[in-house]
Amino acid sequence: MLIRFTLSLALTRLAGAVCWHDPAAVALPSFGYALERGPLTWAGLAPAPQYDACRLGKKQSPIVVYTRTAKRVDPKNFKMNITQYINSGGVKLENLGTTLEVHAGREHGSLVGVIGIEGEPYGPYRLENMHFHTPSEHRINDEYYPLEMHLVFKSGNRFAVIGVLFQLVSGSPPNNEFMHNLFLSVRNITRPGTSTITGTLDFRGLSNAIKTGPLYTYNGSLTTPPCTENVKWLVLGGTRPLHVDTYNKVKSVMKFNARYSQNAPGKINLLERARRIADGATVAASSELEPQSDVVLEGDGILVGSEGEEPMVPLLLDDEEYLATQNVLEW
Ligand SMILES: *[C@@H]1O[C@H](CO)[C@@H](O)[C@H](O)[C@H]1NC(C)=O
Ligand SMILES: *[C@@H]1O[C@H](CO)[C@@H](O)[C@H](O)[C@H]1NC(C)=O
Ligand SMILES: *[C@@H]1O[C@H](CO)[C@@H](O)[C@H](O)[C@H]1NC(C)=O
């Protein structure tokens, strides 16, 4: 997942107002996914302690989600509304070098969105951006997928991110229009720093899939520097279809941008573990390879706090409150 620095974001907006296709309009991050800018070195790309969580954090993302033990959000307790700011025409898709991204806001070419989770002390969360990773960052029961979408939401300074995994299909698949339209002109933005306009995006199919779930949840981090923790993750258990031709177009532009799987939540950071081993330590692995021992499932769809978490303060998101949330969206 990616957040940009406030300053560069402000500059982007300014430049963006001048010309959407100006290469200078998109601010590019300094980290990468290969060689000396790759995920193993992220912590060193900024003066300490800015990116320290990337090498020391014990609740880092992405993780391998083991569905047998993962905690779920009951669909009954989950509300969401995402749409284009203006419903016709497309949205602005940017090549940030590290990802392809559509940002949210009250501008033509943006998205607007909100989620509310009943029983969750924070929120509602407002949409910040939608961006992609290939291959997928999260894995489900060890399996990876070719593409992952991140819908990044924020409430105050706390993030909530929905991860949606895509599976390849060929022929004339149903439910493929959204991704087809989204990446219609992706070949126009092969150069980092450029942007294009997508086809019209109808979020209903995607929204329904997310609302139906299962949504696996855990307390993790941003998957890009500064690797900030205390991020509420919601990973959709089922996959969405992606035509192989669309995928090949996206892959040729986005290249490779997935951080490696992090240790189970609460366990030692794998970089710290590797450092100790490089220093000559012998580290027993057996017990640490148990899947996510601090994430517990207590029956389908029951939201439970796991050990070490803050108690869940009930926040009833009744219809009236939800409507108020919606009104915020109706500019
Ligand atoms: C993409 O590039 C083609 C060829 O240069 C151009 O005709 C088209 O208008 C561009 N489309 C978008 C949405 O940028
Ligand atoms: C999530 O983890 C952070 C530490 O990384 C902790 O401060 C926070 O209380 C946790 N949040 C929940 C809801 O458990
Ligand atoms: C979602 O938000 C849009 C834009 O504000 C609004 O027009 C629409 O009615 C909302 N949909 C639902 C289901 O609340």
Contact partners, residue 62, CB within 8 Å, separation at least 6:
136, 137, 138, 139, 163, 220, 223, 258, 259, 261, 262
- Cβ–ligand 1 contact at 326 (below 6 Å): no
The segments of the chain whose pLDDT lies below 50 read: 1-24, 286-331
Q: Which residues of 246-282 are buried (b: 16+ CB within 10 A; e: fewer)?
A: bbebbeebbeebbbebbbbbebebbbebeeeeeeeee
Q: What is the pLDDT of residues 253-292, one digit of tens each?
A: 999 999 999 999 999 999 999 999 999 988 776 444 444 4
- Cβ–ligand 1 contact at 83 (below 6 Å): no
Q: What is the pLDDT of residues 294-328, one digit of tens each?
A: 443 332 322 223 333 333 333 333 334 444 444 43
From 59, 157, 303, mutation site for ligand 2 pocket: most ligand atoms within 8 A of C-beta: 59
Q: How far does the centroid of ligand 1 lie from the alpha carbon of residue 247, in Å?
A: 19
- Cβ–ligand 1 contact at 199 (below 6 Å): no
Look at residue 25 in the predicted model and tell me its pLDDT. Answer: 58
Look at residue 285 in the predicted model and tell me its pLDDT. Answer: 66
Look at residue 171 in the predicted model and tell me its pLDDT. Answer: 84
Look at residue 324 in the predicted model and tell me its pLDDT. Answer: 45
Look at residue 119 in the predicted model and tell me its pLDDT. Answer: 86
Q: How far is Cα 185 from Cα 168, in angstroms, rounded to an integer? A: 19
Ligand 2 environment, Cβ below 6 A: 59, 219, 229-230, 309-310
Measured from the Cα of 329, ligand 3's closest atom is 5
- Domains assigned to the chain: 6-304 (3.10.200.10)
Q: How far is Cα 89 from Cα 197, in angstroms, rounded to an integer? A: 8
Q: How far does the centroid of ligand 3 lie from the alpha carbon of residue 263, in Å?
A: 39
Look at residue 147 in the predicted model and tell me its pLDDT. Answer: 98
